[in-house]
Amino acid sequence: MSQNIYPLTFTPVFKDYIWGGRNLETKLGRQIPPGIVAESWEISGHPSSPTQVAQGALAGQTLPQVLDLLGEDLAGYRARAMLERGKFPLLIKLLDANKPLSVQVHPEDDYAAAHENGELGKTEMWYILHTEPDARLIYGLKKGTTPELFQDKLNEGKLEDCLYYLPVKPGDAVFIPAGSIHALLEGTVLAEIQQNSDTTYRVYDWNRVGADGKPRPLHINKAMEVINFDQTEPEAYTPQLIEETGHFIRQVISACPQFNVEKLAFKRQGSFAGECDGSTFEIWGTMTGHSRVTWQGQSLDLPAVGFVLLPAVLGKFAIEASADTTLLRAYIP
């Protein structure tokens, strides 16, 4: 097998948006630069902030460069539509909501392609890692919210009257399809798995200003065209059991055409045997505890909170973990 086919870890790209803080360091134990850190882009092929391979034969190359080099061997044949567009399908982030994010919505693929210069839409999921007491987030709309009422409340500066607030705790999964009104609120740290897109339409930004002292731009007209007004008072994703052994419980915690996300919770020391057979890459993330990826007689440690990208043609592999280790697994269905 080529020396370029091996599990890939990446050097993150950090974002200093105004709502960030230091919780990626204090709560997750991550090394971050000084100052405000709102997001850590862990695995990114987005042209605005591509991540570089951290180790091995491909060290220093960006994910888009690796995709150009390996193509379907990296992404898998299920991702051919994305390969034709020169895009790696997914983007992985860590977020620290030290202050509320703007109330926002993301478009679906067709709308984004038509209105955002061929950009992808953005369906995403959140896996909650840490919350302060009584944490909640904005997710969908209150029952009875019509486009007309929404616009009226927006004009009055009382949009909160239309928004649904969902309590969250560590371990919750929240699936956010394109068209969902949503916002992280203060006191939440999470992992985000999403389409490879940075298209966001802000609807409401709490009347605050950005680093330049000016209000951040809103995108109300586009937002009104893509909001799903039928999404009222949704709940966190109900995990679907796939497999339970003496060592781990395996569940689906988000599923859509763009990606599936599974959660593996190890009850005691053990391993999960997998195979990258050419159909899809897999991204594994250790959320709590410590795991190790083994393949072809080699191994790579993956402590929390860390992610690794397994190329589609890697072949057989195993994830070894101890008790109280939780992992996420993302792939193209």
Question: What is the spatial distance between Cα 107 and Cα 199, in angstroms, rounded to a whole number?
Answer: 7
Is there a contact between 108 and 193 (Cβ–Cβ < 8 Å)? no
Q: Is 110 helix (H, G, I), strand (E, B) or coil?
A: helix
- Radius of gyration for the alpha carbons in the chain, expressed in angstroms and rounded: 20
- Residues 21, 98: contact at Cβ < 8 Å? yes
CA dihedral sign of residues 229, 130, 201, 149: positive
Spatial separation of the C-alpha atoms in residues 218 and 94, rounded to whole Å: 24
In 98-239, the DSSP E strands lie at 103-105, 124-131, 136-141, 163-167, 173-176, 182-183, 188-195, 201-204
Contact of 108 with 178, CB cutoff 8 Å? yes
Structure tokens at 137: 């987030």
Q: Which residues are catalytic?
A: 202
Q: What are the tokens at 162?
A: 């239309």
Q: How far apart (Å, rounded) are the C-alpha atoms in residues 214 and 298?
A: 52
Quick one: which of 173, 97, 133 has its CA closest to 326?
A: 173
Secondary structure (DSSP) of 55-67: SSTTTT-BHHHHH
DSSP for 167-181, please give it: E--TT-EEEE-TT--
Give the whole-angstrom CA distance, residue 216 versus residue 223. Answer: 15
Cα 186 from Cα 253, distance rounded (Å)? 23
- Round to the nearest angstrom and report the end-to-end CA distance of the chain: 25
